[in-house]
Structure 1
Amino acid sequence: MRLAGRTALVTGGGSGIGRAIAIRFAQEGADVVVAAHHCNAAAEQTAQAVRAAGRRAFIVAADVRDVAQLTRLMDEGIAAAGAIDLLVNDAGVEVRAPFLDATEADYDLVLETNLKGPYFLAQAFARHRRAVGAGGRIINISSVHEDLCFPHFTSYCVSKGGLRMLTRNLAIELAPLGITVNNIAPGAIGTAINRSLQANPREMADLLDNIPLRRLGTPEDVAGLAAFLASADGDYITGASLLIDGGLLWAYAEQ
C-alpha cells in the first residue's frame, strides 16, 4: 500500500473525480479528509467508502471561494486527522456563457472556485507542512482546457490556464520545503458535469470522433494517476501538467 501512514485532504470529495481519488487513496493506505461544500449524503457516501477500505475518514464542509473557510478547513482537517500530508484540489465548476453575455457573477463563481480556492488552500497546506518540518504533495485537478480552447466557457479556460501557471510557480517556490506540486489535466471524463452530453448520442459520437482511444475517461482513470503522483513513485515529479485524455488534446477539431 503506497500511501500507508499518510493523510489526504481532497476538495470536491463528495462526487466524481474527487470521490474516486479519495477512495483510491484509501485503498492505497491513506486516511482521508473529505472536503465538501456541505456535509451531505454524497460526502457521507465517500466517507463510508473510505472506511470500507479500512481507513479513517473525516468530513469537513467549506466553501472554497472563502479564504477564511479554507483556513478553517485546513485547521479542522489537521485537528481531526493529526496532520495532512497530501492535498488534492479537485473542487471546480464551469458556467456556459457566450463571452458577450457573461456576467461578473459568472466569472467570479468560476475563478474563485477553480483558481482562488486552490491558491489559498495550497498556501494553508504549505504553511502546515513548514510548521511540522516535513514535505508534502499538492495535486491540482486541472483540465485539457488549460490548453484547449472551449468556446462559451472562457472563464473556465482562464481558470485552468491560471491553475497550470500556479502549479509551475509553486513547484519552484515550495521545492525547498520538500513539497511537490503537479497538475492532472483530464479530458472528457464520465462524471455528472458531462451528464447531458452523455445523454445526447449525436454529441457523444462527435466527441468520440475526437478521442483516439474512442471512449470517455473514468474518474478511476484520474484517481490512478493521482495515486502515482502522491506515492514515492512520483517523488521526482514537480511542476508537471499531466494529460489524461485518451489523446483528445492532440486530435481535437472544433465542429
Structure 2
Amino acid sequence: MRSVRKRWTICTISILLIFYKTKEIARTEEHQETQLTGDGELSLSRSMLNSSDKIIQKSGSSIFQHSVEGWKINSSLVLEIRKNILRFLDAERDVSVVKSSFKPGDVIHYVLDRRRTLNISQDLHSLLPEVSPMKNRRFKTCAVVGNSGILLDSECGKEIDNHDFVIRCNLAPVVEFAADVGTKSDFITMNPSVVQRAFGGFRNESDREKFVHRLSMLNDSVLWIPAFMVKGGEKHVEWVNALILKNKLKVRTAYPSLRLIHAVRG
C-alpha cells in the first residue's frame, strides 16, 4: 500500500504540473467544442497544435513572448508536450467525474483492483460537480507545493501565495508553517489514507473536529479525492463526504475520472 500511495502521489503531482503548464495556451470555448466533436484524437491534437502556432505568430502578450530574468519558454517543446497529452488525455475534462457520469447505486470497478467494485452512494453522488471544476479556468503562474519538509525555514510563503493558482498535496498543515509554505490553496489532493494517518481514522470527536476545521480553511478550494483507485479506502471517502455534508462545508469536491487514472497508469 505504501508503494501504491507513493506512486499515486508522484503521478498526481506530475499530471497536475503538466496540465497547468500546458493549459496556459489560451483557447476559446467555441474552439474547444469544435475540436471535441472533430475526427478523433489525431485531429484534435493536430488542430490544437495549429491553433497554438497561431498564438505564437500573433504579436502581443502571448505567454510565449514572456521571459523572466533570462529564462525563456521553449515554445516548441511546450507544443510537442501538449500535442502528445491531447492524444490520450483532456486534463480539464478528466480532472473529475461529473454528476451526470453516474447515478446512486451504480457499481464501478476499482482502477488498480479490477476484481473489486464500489457502489456509488447517495452522499458521493450529491458531491459530484455538475461540470469540471477546472472548466474554462486559465492561469499564468502555478505553484505545486509538496510535503517533504524541504521548505522549512525557506521563507517562501509569500512567493508561493503570489502565484495565480496553488496546488497542495494530502491536506498538509499550512497555518503553523505559513511563513515557509504560504496559506493560499486552490487545489488540494487528499488520498483516503490521510484520514487514518493524520486524523486518527475519526476514532473520536476530537479527530473529526480537527478534520472539519482543516477543511473549513479551504473555503471554495477544490478538494481532489482519488476515490476509485483501490479497495480499502471507500469507508474513509464516505466518512469525509458525510462530514462535508453534515457541516455544510464550502469546499468543492472532485473525484478524478476513470479515464484520467487509466491514463496516469499507462
TM-score category, normalised to shorter length: under 0.3
Q: TM-score, normalised to structure 2's length?
A: 0.27
Q: TM-score, normalised to structure 1's length?
A: 0.27
The structure with the largest alpha-carbon Rg is 2
Structure (1/2) with the larger strand percentage: 1
